[in-house]
Structure 1
Amino acid sequence: MTPNGKVYLIGAGPGDPDLMTLRAVRMLGDADVVVYDRLVSPEILAMAPKSADMVPVGKAPKCHTVPQDQINEILAERALEGQIVARLKGGDPMIFGRGSEEAAYLQARGINVEYAPGISAAQGMAAATGVPLTHRGLATGVRYVTGHLAADKTLKLNWESLADIDTTLVVYMGASSIAEIALRLMSAGLPANLPVLAVSNVTTPRETRLLSHLGQIGVDAQTLALRTPVLFVIGRVVSLYQQAALNQMPPLPAAIAGE
């Protein structure tokens, strides 16, 4: 404990402890209290100091165990008590992690905030599967979007801008809405045979993969019942998956691979 508490916003990465940065490991090791999300893997939680107070604040789809306002208050209260608080988030806290919102709340109260960036789930997927996010001749760029439904149950996305055949589209938090996302993208011009790779619990021992295409992913994802978190990679780069898989892992079952 220190007279002047602080909050570390730590990106835990996609789940594999080997993918945490040295800064993230150091910050976690200094923590008096660890406030962690549901998506932080048990392997990474095991790296926290044995003396640290572990505070789960995880949110599941349609079930916010601890509201964001209360999370903000927990972080502020612990820091103002003089504790070093590790706010542990899956992936990177600045990519769909609400890290900037929490930082603004804390800084407005005079609390020091430091960051440790994390490997994003998309980057972890690329490393785990061999599917690149960009590739010459297949994708000149990549876009990250959230498939999370807004309060009015709609998807606030610009479908015309997303339906770019030259761009890889990565959808976070889209397990419950991927069927609608696929239909919208096809309506905006993307072909039904555009390949899609879905990866559940990427880089962890619980990882599951599903290879499909835009016209079928809604049915396939529901049939396989992938466990969250699920990342969807949509684009021509996914065509490289089978080639990469030959060097990295056994082939997918025929029913899943669409053979």
Structure 2
Amino acid sequence: MNTPTRPPSPSEFQPGTVTLVGAGPGDPDLLTIKAVKAIGAATVLLVDDLVGEDVLAHASARARIVHVGKRGGCKSTPQAFIEKLMVMAAREGEVVVRLKGGDPFIFGRGGEEVEHLQAEGVRVQVVNGITSGLAAVTSLGVPLTHREHAHGVVFVTGHAKPGCEGTDWQALAATARDAKLTLVIYMGVSGVQRIQRELLTGLPAATPVAVVQRASLPEQRHAVTTLGELGATVAREGLASPSVIVVGDVISGVAAAVSHTTAQARAA
């Protein structure tokens, strides 16, 4: 795989190029300055479902906006078709921005898209965004790492590629226990019962867990519970995609503030 030799400057949003832009977790105030510049420079934007309209307010009035749905559990635009659209638009001389929720390189298929565009001879660059796993715990007032509670963090997907076995949750649980790691699980709500069952082979049932739905948005909801009660909590509180599950002792800072599991709407 070929990689860019240096980060491009904002002046390099040129015709015939593609920029993969991380739109962050949803709150438009969390966009980077460079992301805003890229969005404003685009003549064609290919936009994921999880990108809000407030983010698109930064687009030029002359830009063509194409919604290419990408959401777990819902009908999605085929990845091959999205890649074809990017190549076609770039070859037509457009300034193309592929606008993704979170960060393009954290479960956003950014790596696949960079490889495809480079293979087609299209110049591509990436603008990072704040990933929802970070925004989720920040909204609760706790860190992902802490010298006393967590020496590292693992970002992992709960949604396996068709035909693949997916994450070895039992091995991951043992590693998280021994190395004191925080687990941040994306796209894990639909498989939460299996994830819970297999994590319990290596982690105590009392391990604190938080589930955060629609992190950073006004309609954010969250529940604080334990690993032993995770599946029951998700079902009882009606938490659904898009949600992030955070497992580890860093959540104890939130758990200590509540005497029972809660799920609440974030104030508008």
Give me the TM-score of the superposition, normalised by structure 2: 0.86
1:60 match: secondary structure: coil
Residue in 2 aligned with 1:94? Answer: 105
Residue in 1 aligned with 2:252? Answer: 239
Deviation at 1:153, TM superposition (A): 7.7
Deviation at 1:224, TM superposition (A): 1.6
Taking the aligned partners of 1:149 and 1:220, their CA distance within structure 2 comes to 23
**CA RMSD after TM alignment:** 2.0
Taking the aligned partners of 2:262 and 2:30, their CA distance within structure 1 comes to 28
Question: Equivalent residues in 2 for 1:109-120 (5 A)?
Answer: 109-120=120-131
Which amino acid in structure 1 is aligned with residue 237 of structure 2?
A: L
Q: Which moved more, 1:29-38 or 1:158-167?
A: 158-167
Q: For 1:64-122, what per-residue CA distance to the aligned partner results, in whole angstroms no more than 9, with x for missing partners?
A: 42100001001111111000111001111001111111111111111111111111112
Q: Which moved more, 1:148-157 or 1:70-79?
A: 148-157
Q: Which moved more, 1:35-44 or 1:70-79?
A: 35-44
Question: Equivalent residues in 2 for 1:42-81 (5 A)?
Answer: 42-81=53-92
Question: Equivalent residues in 2 for 1:10-159 (5 A)?
Answer: 10-152=21-163, 154-159=165-170
Taking the aligned partners of 2:261 and 2:253, their CA distance within structure 1 comes to 19
2:136 match: secondary structure: helix
CA change 1:158–1:176 in 2 (3 A) is closer
Taking the aligned partners of 1:210 and 1:48, their CA distance within structure 2 comes to 35
Q: For 1:19-69, what per-residue CA distance to the aligned partner results, in whole angstroms no more than 9, with x for missing partners?
A: 111111100000101101112123212322222111111123243421000
Q: Which moved more, 1:50-59 or 1:147-156?
A: 147-156
**Conserved? CA contact 2:169–2:199, under 8 Å:** no
Q: Which moved more, 1:221-230 or 1:200-209?
A: 221-230
**Conserved? CA contact 2:172–2:199, under 8 Å:** no
Taking the aligned partners of 1:206 and 1:66, their CA distance within structure 2 comes to 26
**Conserved? CA contact 1:150–1:156, under 8 Å:** no
Structure 1 residue runs without a partner (length 5+): 246-250
1:231 match: secondary structure: strand
CA change 1:191–1:3 in 2 (3 A) is closer
Aligned-pair identity in percent equals 41
**Conserved? CA contact 2:223–2:261, under 8 Å:** no
Taking the aligned partners of 2:156 and 2:31, their CA distance within structure 1 comes to 23
Deviation at 1:17, TM superposition (A): 1.1
Taking the aligned partners of 2:165 and 2:172, their CA distance within structure 1 comes to 17
1:222 match: secondary structure: helix
Structure 2 residue runs without a partner (length 5+): 1-12, 264-268
Taking the aligned partners of 1:40 and 1:159, their CA distance within structure 2 comes to 34
Taking the aligned partners of 1:213 and 1:42, their CA distance within structure 2 comes to 35
Which amino acid in structure 1 is aligned with residue 262 of structure 2?
A: I
Q: Which moved more, 1:89-98 or 1:38-47?
A: 38-47
**Conserved? CA contact 2:224–2:261, under 8 Å:** no
Deviation at 1:178, TM superposition (A): 1.4
How many corresponding residue pairs? 248
Which amino acid in structure 2 is aligned with residue 150 of structure 1?
A: K
